[in-house]
Amino acid sequence: MHKFFETKSWICDDFVDVSSTLVSIDKTAYDLYIIDINLPESDGISLVKDLRKKFPQVPIIMISGYNDIETIMDAYAVGCDEYLKKPFDLRELEIKVSNLMNEKALDLSANVKYDISGRTLYINDAEVHLSQKESNLMHTFMSNINRPLTHDYLESVIWGGVEDNGHALRNLVLRLRKRIGTGIIDTVQGKGYILRLNT
């Protein structure tokens, strides 16, 4: 799957167990997860449940050799978006990925929209250029809608590590607020920030 999607110009990471997955998702904002139901140390159902608590908006595809309706219902109940039964053609998986990633732009306000798959901000239907760090911050917020994000987490995503002071992050959030307007990115006192959206 990794090699197949790389040939389609997707950037992919793969993990052999739950522990390495959980370490990575604390450092990287992913656009989509593909999870096997059978995993070392744990199971895919439990992992999906954990991911849904942290990333309620990120699409999840579960793959499994189980065909019984109870397992399928359990997978959807904990929050997977698609369930693909083995064996399957990789082109079928590609279709499901494309369908989940090509959702319409989300309205942040009456005149502000964000296209998650294209990582593009629109104001009054005109595309707005964002710096690389602004784009990474906006995408991280949009991948974690209504979820408080700590200063340390945001700094690790944007700069690859925790900054000595919070000035750089505060200035970056301030620039983004000026672009998208007030009342969207809120400060969580003593913790970090949250992008609020009624989805």
Domain regions of the chain by residue span: 2-101, 106-195
In one-letter notation, the amino acid at residue 66 is Y
Domain covering 106-195 in this structure, CATH number: 1.10.10.10
Region of poorest pLDDT, from 32-41, 43-52, 111-120, 160-169: 160-169
Instruction: Looking at the structure, give the CATH architecture of the domain made up of residues 2-101.
Output: 3-Layer(aba) Sandwich (3.40)
Q: pLDDT value at position 162?
A: 67
The model's pLDDT over 122-156, given as tens digits with 9 standing for 90+, comes to: 999 899 999 989 998 998 888 778 888 899 888 88
CA-to-CA distance for 10 and 93, rounded, in angstroms? Answer: 13
Q: Are 34 and 63 in contact (CB under 8 A)?
A: yes
CA-nearest of 40, 34, 43, 36 to 12 is 34
Place of tokens 């505060």: 170
Is the confidence at residue 176, as pLDDT, over 90? Answer: yes
The model's pLDDT over 26-38, given as tens digits with 9 standing for 90+, comes to: 778 788 999 998 8
Q: pLDDT value at position 102?
A: 67
Token pair, residue 58, equals 């990120």
